Each structure stands twice: as C-alpha cells, then as structure tokens.
Structure 1
Amino acid sequence: MTRRLRVAATLLAFAVLPAAAQTPAPASPPPGLAGPLVLAKQGSFFVGGRTIKSDTLSTLPAYAPSGTITVEQMYVRYQVPVEARRPPVTLIHGCCLTGKTWETTPDGRMGWDEYFVRRGHPTYVIDQVSRGRSSADPSLVNSVRLGKTPPDKTPPIFAAGQEAAWAIFRFGTEYPQVHPGMRFPLAAKDEFYKQMVVDWIATMPTPNPTVTALSQLAKQLDGTVLISHSQSGIYPFQTAALDTRGIAAIVSIEPGTCPSATGDLKPYLGIPIMVLWGDYVETSSRWAPRLKACRAFAEALTKAGGRIDHVVLPEIGIKGNSHMLMQDDNSLEIADRLVAWIEKTVAAKKN
C-alpha cells in the first residue's frame, strides 16, 4: 500500500470509529458507562526521587532551615477495573497543569481517567515532577531570599495568565474572542482556570526527572500506553529514547514538539504511535509550526518503516476541538476512538 493510501485509510478508520463526534455531548454518560464504578483496586505511589541535604529549606522561624528532603519524585494515582481486559494507560498532563487535566471536566462530565477505567484499562494518572503532589525543591528560592545566592540566580518559575492561556488553549485567537464552533465548555472556564498551577519545568535537570520516572513506571507496568499532552507531548518519545521496554504504544496529543524528522528514529520504529490534533491549529502562530514539524516527523518515520498515525481532527470531519480536547464537549467520543485505536494497534503489535 502506498503511503498516501495508508494515511487515507488510517484517517478513515479513525473517523468511523464508534460515535458521531459532531453532535454535542449527551447530558448523561453513553450507554454502558453509567452506574457504579467497580474497581479491583486503587491507590497511589511515587516513582523515582532522591534525597538531598540543604541549609535553605525554610526562612520561617518555626521551621529549621537545615535538613534532608526528597526531590524529583513523580506522583502516580491508579485505578484498576475488575475486568482489566485492555492494556494500562498512563495519562501525562501538560504545561501549568496537573493530573487534574484528565479527571472530571470543568463542567462536571466524566473525565478520561474514569472513562478509560470503565472501558477496561487500568489507568495511571501522574503529576509531573515539581507539580501538584510531586513536591518541588524550595532550596534555591530560599537561598536567594536569605542572601546566600545572588538574585539573578532565582529559579525561573512561571504561571500562565488566563488571558494568555485563552489563546494558547485555542479558545479564540486572542482574549476574549471565541473561535466559531469551539467545543470547550466556556461556561465553566473559571473552574478550568482553578486547575492551573505554577510551572517549574525550567528548573528541571536534563533528562527531565519525569521522563526518567515514566521509563521506570513503564517497565513496572510491563506494557503501558503513554498518553501525553502539550508540554509533555515529547515525553513518551524521550522515554522511548531512554529505553523502549514497557512502552506498548504512544499517543501524543497536540505535542509542544515532536522528535526531529532528521534525528535518530530507531527508538520509535517498533512502537505504534498516534499524534492527535484538534481544530484551529493552522490559524495559530504558536501551534501551526508545531503541526508542520510533526507532519515532517510522521512522514520521516513512515518512510523509515515505523507505524505512526498523524490525525488532525477537522481533516476527518471532527471540528471545533480546542487544545484541551480531553475536556471538550465531545471528549468521550474522542476517547472512544483512542480506545479502539489502542485495541487495534496493540493487539496487532502482539500478534
């Protein structure tokens, strides 16, 4: 089959997977997804981490400045269904957010963490290192505050303002404009803004400890689908470059960057990959170049013999999705297509 026919077949297959995605999401869960959520087990744990000694843990009189703390650990919350008939999925959030990305949507609908469990996938949701329940290291900040370190050495932490996030997440070209037909539940935008947190990624060493922890987690799970988003879109690829063991497939949703089309493609040749995009990407000066670079990567990997499905939703008739498509009003329909893709590709890989 020629590459053009193969891509066309892939897009058609994704387009005809269950549920029509061009009608508003129903008020109640789809058939078979209502009722009590029955689990075999649930819990949480940390992956990775190291201990350090510091003399600048605190500037408050009630807490000693010197001591030992653990840093660079990655928090993982998991739920395992009673009938775990499909491979585990690991959900990895993006910039300025936490694992909350995948939980209940801002307007109160079922999140992907619950949905994948109900569809038979053991589901693991992480908080990136130094985000959410994965603690950050305050030593350098306090060292500057105490005058032990020059102010220009203050770590570069940041937060995305709501106005800037509006365009980054493609609710509209700029605040407060709204893209026509945009599917994010803007009536609940204030609940979404509550999810946004300070981002410490610029303080992270190389390789990012989250990537190292994902590699450890993948091997621990012995075959998980790494599903990443935005800032973390590159993490599954970086994880594969470290070690492909334990990676059953990669789904990269609107990645901030893809691997270079001219780089080493060998780590990705044996892994089923999907790169997935929402709408309005071509009109965004931030996202259009990233889409172009990912197209180039997909073409190069296909030529090298890899299995990659590069899907742009409006090109298959699914319009209106924002950057936060796991929270858009058709989020479960998109998740259903991913479930079908995983079942098809991971099963094919095993066979």
Structure 2
Amino acid sequence: MFHTAHAAPAQAPKTPTGPLTLSAQGSFFIGGRDVTSDTLSLTPKYDAHGTVTVDQMYVRYQIPQRAKRYPITLIHGCCLTGMTWETTPDGRMGWEEYFLRKGYATYVIDQSGRGRSATDISAINAVKLGKAPPSTLPDLFAAGHEAAWAIFRFGPRYPEAFKDTQFPVQAQAGLWQQMVPDWLASLPTPNPTVANLSKLAIKLGGTVLLSHSQSGIYPFQTAAMNTQGIAAIVSVEPGECPKPGDVQPLTGIPVLVVFGDHIEEFPRWAPRLKACHAFIDALNAAGGKGQLMSLPALGIHGNSHMMMQDKNNLQVADLILDWIARNARAPRRGR
C-alpha cells in the first residue's frame, strides 16, 4: 500500500550540461476523423465545400541513446499546448529535456483541438454565413492573466505573489505567451484526446502517461477504455481524480498523484486534493498501487500549479522519476 509521502526533501539537482545525444526524433499524428462541410471557407479564393480531418492528436517524440524501458508521454492542461514541458518562461530546462537527459524517451502531445492538432471551424463559419443560428456556435474559453494567476496559485490575487512562490513571476510574460484558446467544450464526448492516448500507448507498447490539470483525468479515462500499453500513470495536480467507485480498471496500474503548495488557501483546489486522497485510499483498498505525493509534506514549499516550470522544477522531476523507476511495470493485456 502507498499513502501520502513523508520524507526529507530531495537535494536540488544541478542543471545537466553538455551535449544531448538522441537516437531518433520526429513527429506524427494519431487518430482523427473526416468531416465534410459546406462552410469551410468565407473567402471566394477557396471552395467552401470539402472534407477536412479533425480530432487528431499531434505527437512529437525524442529518443535518447540507450533509452530506458518505458517512454514518458507528456499531456498538457487547459489553455496550453505541449510547450508546457519545454523551456521554462525564464529560459531554464523543462521536464521534456530533463527526462531525456535522464534516459527516458519523451512523447509530447498537443491535445485534440489545440496547438498543432486541428480544430473544426465549420460551425463558426456556418453562423457567419447565416446557415445556422448563433446558439450553435462552439463554446470557447481563454484564461485571462488575472484569473490564471489564482488558478495557477502564484499568489492570492493578481499580481500579488506568495513570498515563497517557486514560480518565476519576473518572467510571467513568457507564460502568458504560451496560452491559447481552449476548445474543450466544443469537442465530442468522450474527448478524442482520451481515445488517441489509448492508441498511442498501444502503438508504443508501453508508456507512462504523465498528465497535468485539465488533462489529469485523461489517463484514468484512457485506462477505463483500455489498459493496454499503460505502464504507469502520473497525474500532476489533476482537475479531478476518479471517484472511489471507479478504481477497478486501475488496480493493475501504478498511480502517482502530485500536489504542490498553498492548496488549502483556494476553494478551487482544496476539494480536489481531498477527492484525490479518497481516490488513492480506495485504489489501495481495492488492491491497487497508488500514492499521493504532497510536496509540502516532503518539506518542499512554494510550488505552484505550474510546478514543471517552477524554479525547483528539476527537484520535483527527480521525485517523479524516482517513483517511475521503482513502480512502472509491464502493462497488463488490455481489454
């Protein structure tokens, strides 16, 4: 059984230097469906009628020499793209490169309908052309700096920062540049990202699904669909955890949930932490292998919701990589 971790804080690592040698790198798309529409264009230069592919998922991969057994698939959250895992806003090494330097192949996705994964614009054009009522417009969301400040727990209110914040607030403009409109509410149900993650895990023959925030629930939903290819799940501050009654599909998959600091000071976050505690307890009671890692309980303070970009991001990465090394295992045969 695994419970909330209580241990001395890990020593902050030095940023690795020197050449980074890869055996392969590239990108591909997975999933998607074809949509035929008469509202693909508002300009006479292009035919409004045609077929486009939507709901596919962009994947970029990098594989180091002598890669370890299970690659890590990095899944970004709300209003962001795969850039989440790359260079930090103040120019430091992100988790993608650090994981590579630690011997893990990385697969960085853009969620379906985000970044380099296509969106379906036909509904918007249909309204502008008068072929559909405004009520059919997709629901879109963009997080303003002010709202994101509290959601990401940089401080109690914009632009006030916690005295111990680990986020590099002096470089906040670099984070705001990363943020994009969120098409989540306009996507089909279930979210095509979930099915695409399952296809990716099967394609790779085993991977650790590492998710964040909005996408925190996706690996669990993927496992409920098919456990094949899932060597472990790491969920960094998930927007929600599975309900205690939904743990059965996860009993054969090692699970780590990670939370940062100042949780109890935000009504958005305190209930989420409590629900994730209940989930981990239920998973372990059902014979699974789960752990909730509270960074403050380890003596590591000030981490924001964007801990992969915090000033101590490599220290947190080491804790996660240590857990993966000890717990990731050959996936069960899927359903």
Q: Which residue of 1 aligns with 2:122?
A: 139
Is residue 341 of structure 1 aligned with residue 333 of structure 2?
no
Within the alignment, does 1:316 sit opposite 2:298 as a pair? Answer: yes
Identity of aligned residues (%): 59
Distance in 2, Cα, partners of 1:111 & 1:93: 13
Distance 1:128 1:148 in 2: 29
Residue 332 (structure 1) aligns with:
314
Map of 2:175 onto structure 1: 192
The amino acid of 2:256's aligned partner reads M
Cα displacement string for residues 66-86 of structure 1 (whole angstroms, at most 9, x for unaligned residues): 111100100000000011024
Cα 1:68–1:169 shift into 2, 3 Å: same
Secondary structure at the counterpart of residue 277 of structure 2: helix
Displacement of 1:316 in angstroms is 1.4
Q: Secondary structure at the match of 2:157?
A: coil
Give secondary structure in 2 for the equivalent of 1:210: helix
Instruction: Identify if the C-alpha distance between structure 1 residues 348 and 153 changes in structure 2 by more than 3 Å, giving closer, same or farther.
Output: closer
Residue 19 of structure 1 corresponds to 11
Query: Can you give the 5+ residue segments of structure 2 that lack an aligned partner in the other structure?
Result: none
Letter in 2 for 1:245: Q
- In structure 2, how many angstroms separate the alpha carbons of the residues matched to 1:141 and 1:349? 42
For 2:3 and 2:62, the matched residues in 1 are separated by 34
User: Which of 173, 176, 180 lines up with 2:159 in the alignment?
Assistant: 176
Partner of 1:266: 248
Q: Which residue of 1 aligns with 2:80?
A: 97
Counterparts of 1:233-312 in structure 2 under 5 Å? Answer: 233-261=216-244, 263-312=245-294
Match of residue 112 from structure 1: 95
* Partners of 2:154 and 2:246 in 1: CA distance: 35
Partner of 1:7 in structure 2?
Answer: 3
Match among 212, 215, 220 for residue 195 of structure 2? 212
Q: What is the root-mean-square deviation of aligned Cα atoms in Å? A: 1.5
The answer to whether the Cα contact below 8 Å between 2:72 and 2:209 also exists between their aligned partners in 1 is yes
Specify every segment of 5 or more residues in structure 1 that has no aligned partner in the other structure, as ranges: none
2:28 pairs, out of 45, 56, 70, with 45
- Once the 2 structures are TM-superposed, how far is the Cα of residue 62 of structure 1 from its aligned partner? 1.8
TM-score by length of 1: 0.92
Structure-1 separation of matches of 2:205 and 2:260: 30
**3-state SS of 1:326 partner:** helix
- Do the aligned partners of 1:86 and 1:120 also contact (CA within 8 Å) in 2? no
Q: Is the 8 A contact 1:39 1:82 kept in 2?
A: yes
What do residues 57-108 of structure 1 show as CA deviations (whole Å, max 9, x unaligned)? 1112222211111001000000000110241000000000000000000000
CA-to-partner distance for each residue in 1:170-194, whole Å, 9 max, x for gaps? 0111112211200100111001100
- Counterpart of 1:196 in 2: which secondary structure? coil
Give the drift of 1:265. 1.5
List aligned pairs for 1:160-171, cutoff 5 A.
160-171=143-154
Letter in 1 for 2:253: I
**8 Å Cα contact 2:206/2:331 also seen in 1:** no
Give the drift of 1:7. 2.7
Q: 1: distance between equivalents of 2:18 and 2:88? A: 18
Deviations 1:192-248 (A, max 9, x none): 100000000001111110000000000111110000000000000000000000000
Partner Cα distance (2:80, 2:42) in 1: 27
TM-score (normalizing by structure 2): 0.96
Runs of 4+ in 1 over 2 A off after TM superposition: 347-350
What is the 5 A alignment of 1:53-92?
Answer: 53-92=36-75
Q: CA deviation at 1:282?
A: 0.9
Quick one: distance in 1 between partners of 2:58 and 2:148? 25
**C-alpha displacement of 1:347:** 5.3
Q: Deviations over 1:287-309 (max 9, x none)?
A: 11111111111111111111001
Distance in 1, matches of 2:117 and 2:6, equals 37
Q: How many residues align?
A: 332
Give the superposition deviation at 1:342: 0.5
1:114 and 1:240 map into 2 onto residues whose CA distance is 27
Conserved in 2, the CA contact under 8 Å of 1:86 and 1:343? Answer: no
Letter of the 1:144 partner, please give it. Answer: V
Give, as a single letter, the amino acid of the residue that structure 2 aligns with 1:252.
S
Residues 273 and 307, structure 1, Cα contact 8 Å, conserved in 2: yes
Distance in 2, matches of 1:290 and 1:316, equals: 19
